[in-house]
């Protein structure tokens, strides 16, 4: 596991918090106003998981509304699937979303 700070990722991509279920657009031309908290919360955590026990740490960051980049390359295939399934359940329960990078 290692944490990434804004300085390490500056200029590579804009990190934004996951949107809640009520913040999804109701029509195609709908635009949301950026939340001031979102500007303050430009933090990203990169987690390289290897065992299923690491899924708890993933969930803790997600519950704290910290965007997580999940690196599954170090985990065995069956463990990676379990971690992804668990993380998907946490994301669904929080009403958030996830994307493959």
CATH code (residue 48)? 3.30.110.150
Query: Looking at the domain assignment, is residue 30 inside a domain?
Result: no
The pTM of this model reads 0.57
The tally of domains found in the chain comes to 1
Query: Looking at the domain assignment, is residue 16 inside a domain?
Result: yes
Query: Looking at the domain assignment, is residue 54 inside a domain?
Result: yes
Query: Looking at the domain assignment, is residue 99 inside a domain?
Result: no
| Two structure tokens written together for 67 | 């965007």
Query: Looking at the domain assignment, is residue 60 inside a domain?
Result: yes
Mind listing the pLDDT tens digit for each residue in 16-70?
A: 555 555 555 554 554 555 555 654 556 889 999 889 998 999 999 999 989 999 9
Query: Looking at the domain assignment, is residue 28 inside a domain?
Result: no
Range of the domain at 44: 2-20+38-93
């Amino acid at each position: 596991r290692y944490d990434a700070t804004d300085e390490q990722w500056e200029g590579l991509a804009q990190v934004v918090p996951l949107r809640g279920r009520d913040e999804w657009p109701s029509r195609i031309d709908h635009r949301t106003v950026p939340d001031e908290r979102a500007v303050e919360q430009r933090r990203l955590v990169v987690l390289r998981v290897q065992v299923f026990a690491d899924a708890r740490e993933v969930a803790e960051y997600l519950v704290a509304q910290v965007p997580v980049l999940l690196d599954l390359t170090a985990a065995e295939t069956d463990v990676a699937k379990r971690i992804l399934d668990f993380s998907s359940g946490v994301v669904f329960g929080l009403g958030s979303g996830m994307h493959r990078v």
